[in-house]
Amino acid sequence: MRILVVGAGATGGYFGGRLAQAGRDVTFLVRPRRGEQLRAEGLRLLSPHGDATISPELVTAGHIASTYDVAVLSVKAYALDQALDDLAPAVGPDTMLLPLLNGLRHLDTLTKRFGEKPVLGGVCVVATMLDDEGRIVQLADTQELVYGELSGAASARVAALDKAMQGAGFTARASQAIAQEMWEKWVFLATLGGITCLMRGTVGEIEAAPGGADLALQLFAECAAVATASGHPPGEKFTARIKATVTAPGSPLASSMYRDLQRQRSVEADHILGDLLARARRLRVPAPLLAAAFANLTIYQRRLSAR
């Protein structure tokens, strides 16, 4: 199976790198500057599961000569439109599009551009970051990739994709409930991202502040209520796990959005918080803390963009 990974940043670089390390046919679609760095230094992974330096197959926009069996979309949401322009020549009649973006708005963007047929649902669970040297640093042990038809049906193409993903050094599984899993991840990311950015601290720091744990639980309840009103109520086990996660004493956990904020980088506020808030308002679900977190990050992003 020919795999095109769109982006070689923290997420795509990690999973694509592990696939390449395992001998899969992987090519990365990258920007020229990132391509130069990877050709000179290799794709470098620093991980509790083992460090690696890979010499990746690379292609840049305007130089795609053939189509691929699957394109894994791992760019930030605010870079998606440009990525789709770059990707278009790689999409044939049977190409699968596997997005690993946060939230759900990207599904509308993909289907509008390419139609419903090629689009799968996808969820990745990994904590990685791109450091100042361009290395991909894995921050925790968890590494899972989940994919499936948005309809929930089993299909031969997902079975083929699943076969290609097995044994590549991370947990991989096909799901017949991928839409539910995408909603649950969105609820978690909006809660974690919203509370750590709003409070400017890790989970443990927030829990240690007066009323901090209650604020985290309130934000989770708002996000979960939006999912429920949208027909995807979070499951009991998920709810218990996330409540424990966002109120864990001493936890160093923080969202990637908070790490980006600390480093004065753009954040995905519109796609993780803003879209969820818009759905809350359409469905008449009260979400005052979600609104506060989104307003806070909107101010930050506008100041950053004005520089």
- The candidate with the shortest Cα–Cα distance to 9, out of 135, 96, 181, is 135
Amino acid at 295: A
Catalytic choice (112, 185, 237, 243)? 185
CB 16 within 8 A of CB 56: yes
Specify the 3-state DSSP secondary structure of 26. Answer: strand
What single string gives the DSSP state of each residue in 71-139?
A: EEE-S-GGGHHHHHHHHGGG--TT-EEEE--SSSHHHHHHHHHH-STTBPEEEEEEEEEE-TTS-EEEE
- For the question of residue 76 being annotated catalytic, the response is no
CB 126 within 8 A of CB 105: no
Query: What does the block give as tokens for 224?
Result: 């979960």
C-alpha 302/C-alpha 125 separation (Å) is 29
CB 27 within 8 A of CB 5: yes
Catalytic center residues:
185
